[in-house]
Amino acid sequence: MVWRESSNSKSMPVSVARKIAYEVLRRVEAEGAYASDVLHGELGAEVRPDDAALATELTLGVLRWRGLLDFLLERALKKPIARLDLPVAISLRIGLYQLRFLERIPPRAAVNESVELVKYARKTSATSLVNAVLRRAAAEAKSPPEKFLPTGVSTTRRLAIIHSHPEWLVERWLARLGEPQTISLLTANNRTPRLSCSLHHPERRDETLNSLQESGLRLEPSVLLKTAFAVNGGSPTRTPAFQRGDISIQDEASQTIPLLLDVRPGDRVLDLCAAPGGKTPTLARSAGKTGLIVAADRHAHRLRAMREQFKRLALPKIRLIELDAAQPLPFIIEFDRILVDAPCSGTGTLARHPEIRWRLEPEQLVELNRLQSSLLATALGQLAQGGRLVYSTCSLEREENEDVVAESLRKFPDIVRVSPSEAEGSIFPHLVPRVNIKSLFDNAGQFHTAPGAYQTDGFFAALLERKK
């Protein structure tokens, strides 16, 4: 994808877009922040749409391609980029990303603005280094990165560099998926993901979509669900349709998860790990005014944000409860339906949250497995006879998915998997006709989406039931 610079960027030492990208990347690295959250705060109404677009492209592009960028930069630096001051490293990455990936930004502008960025960051002593490294990079920008790989490099190392992923993650995917499928996954993780939305009032579909088009957005059809669509050309959050509560931004695979529970009017429903609250609205609407909806999370500030979101959506009353779901739950009732959308590594969302790939460590998968197993066991203790529970993650890793479910089935002999035909039947009415439902479920009736297959995030879900 390519971008034009703002018409006013040349009048300032550093363009608005590059300043925003720099600050977001600095906070991601220095504070452990998430890029999407910081961008949301930085890209207010006063930021021009073209500046917002370029800032987003630079930020997420640098994060996706950081491994390859650092490999190429270190050829010129003759030392690890980690030994540089962080502002200098960020400025170099922003400059090299433009030289390699953004064709409509002149090389001179990319180099000069990165030099200005280190001045902006009060690292003036590094200006000669940044200028020299990026000028050399500009001369090599049209050469494929394969040209610079060392002789005899392993398949794992080659794919990790060329596709900009950690070696340990590539290695485990190669072992499980094989090379063609791993390359497909790595490629999907480096694409800009679709900006998908959910329609909250399908009966007003035409009116809502027309309103979005009048706001200047371009619409694309859904890939999975009848009540979904995608947009580009702007931010849906700035539209009257969003402000009225007619739509929300949510990946289509994520939208599918609560549908698996097949909530009925009057059901008692527990959303155990509810924040940020994207799946709760579907549960609440399905249970209706006669149902009981409890949404729980351990962080009070996230519950406050959910409360504001539910007001925008004018939802039936939802009871919000602050609790640690890994501990015994405070409920005296049992629930007909429970959703455990567990905290996870997020390896199914590396296109949307590219910083995760550089933070995650192998040992964290073991820690997450323990937490997830504890959450699922706690939730199963609250499930009524004949009740159903969905355990889901946005991870692709067995430790967080199949292994957690298998362990719980061993511990709870009265818990069984819902049959594959019933699991498929829970979402079949919601799918667009062109979807092959068999492609979404394995032989055990567990739901899977892989990045690239349906242009969604990677999700896993298992549908469990307590015997009557």
CA–CA distance, 347 with 335 (Å, rounded to integer): 30
Question: In whole angstroms, what separates CA 253 from the centre of its chain?
Answer: 11
Residue 329 has what DSSP assignment?
A: P
Burial degree of 221 (CB within 10 A; 0-12, 13-18, 19+)? exposed
Q: Which domains does the chain have, with CATH numbers?
A: 9-148 (1.10.940.10), 151-186 (no CATH), 195-249 (3.30.70.1170), 252-466 (3.40.50.150)
The DSSP letter of residue 455 is S
Pairing outcome for strands 459-466 and 415-417: antiparallel
Closest CA to 392 of 466, 299, 458: 458
Pairing of strands 447-449, 459-466: antiparallel
Q: What is the torsional sign of CA 223, 224, 227, 230?
A: negative
Q: Is 394 a catalytic residue?
A: yes
Q: Answer whether the bond into residue 276 is a cis peptide, omega within 30°.
A: yes
* Catalytic site residue from 197, 273, 344, 394: 394
pLDDT at position 115: 94
- Residues in contact with 115: Cβ distance below 8 Å, sequence separation at least 6, in sequence order: 91, 127, 130, 131, 134
Beta bridge partners of 343: none
SS3 content of the chain, % helix, strand, coil (to 5): 50, 15, 35
Residues of the chain under the 50 pLDDT cut: 1-12
Residue 316: predicted pLDDT: 78
pTM > 0.75: yes or no: yes
Please report the pLDDT score of residue 7 as a whole number.
39
- Measured CA to CA, the distance from residue 391 to residue 388 in angstroms comes to 10
Q: What is the pLDDT of residue 1?
A: 38
